[in-house]
Amino acid sequence: MNKTIDYGTLMHKAMRTLIFDVLKDVEQSGLPGEHHFFITFDTTVEGVEISEWLRQRYPEEMTIVIQHWFDGLNVKEDRFDITLNFGDQPESLVVPFLAILTFVDPSVEFGLRFEQNEDDEQPKFSEMEKANDQEKKSSKKKGDVVNLDSFRK
């Protein structure tokens, strides 16, 4: 038995589960009211699938907005797939949950931020315990609330 409670690992697990649950609701029922999301993700994480021109434009990280037009949102245990419009050009994206750096819903001033570690592997929610072991190895990981001032005009 551990001598301490690893709150950081438990918080990361809860935050990823929250994002999964929110996106699953949107997949099934659409975006309610004024809700919309800014999701920043690390484009270098294994499993991220974006077109070559987007990868060249965003070689390290990319922020997407899920708001007025999106199509094909498909939420899976370890990732979500979505089609978004980039300059009147629909593009399909695959974003593993582990690649997410920030998740913000400015309509209700809610935000999450993850700090990444190169050694992470993409967990499935049913395999989250395996990911918890990896998160315990990292002293860098902390769950924080995003300062929304950076997203305001």
User: Per-residue pLDDT averaged across 123-144, rounded?
Assistant: 43
- pLDDT exceeds cutoff 70 at 25: yes
When comparing pLDDT for 55 and 2, which is higher? Answer: 55
Which of 27-31, 81-85, 88-92, 120-124 is predicted least confidently?
Answer: 120-124
CATH H-level, domain 7-146: superfamily: SspB-like (2.30.30.220)
- pLDDT exceeds cutoff 70 at 69: yes
| 60 dihedral zone (left: phi>0; alpha: psi -120 to 50; beta) | alpha
Question: CA-CA distance, 84 to 68, in Å (whole number)?
Answer: 10
Question: CA-CA distance, 82 to 70, in Å (whole number)?
Answer: 7
- pLDDT exceeds cutoff 80 at 83: yes
Residue-level pLDDT at 17: 93
Residue-level pLDDT at 38: 96
Residue-level pLDDT at 60: 94
Which of 12-16, 33-37, 134-138 is predicted least confidently?
Answer: 134-138
Question: CA-CA distance, 66 to 129, in Å (whole number)?
Answer: 29
Cβ proximity of 99 and 41 under 8 Å: yes
Parallel, antiparallel, or unpaired for β 90-96 and 61-66?
unpaired
Q: Give the Å distances, CA to CA, from 132 to 58, 60, 84, 120, 126.
A: 29, 25, 32, 10, 12
User: Angle at the Cα of 56 (from 147 to 37), degrees rounded to 5?
Assistant: 30
- The domain locations on the chain are 7-146
| 87 dihedral zone (left: phi>0; alpha: psi -120 to 50; beta) | left
CA torsion 98-102-103-104 (nearest 10°) is 180
Band (151; pLDDT cuts 50, 70, 90): low
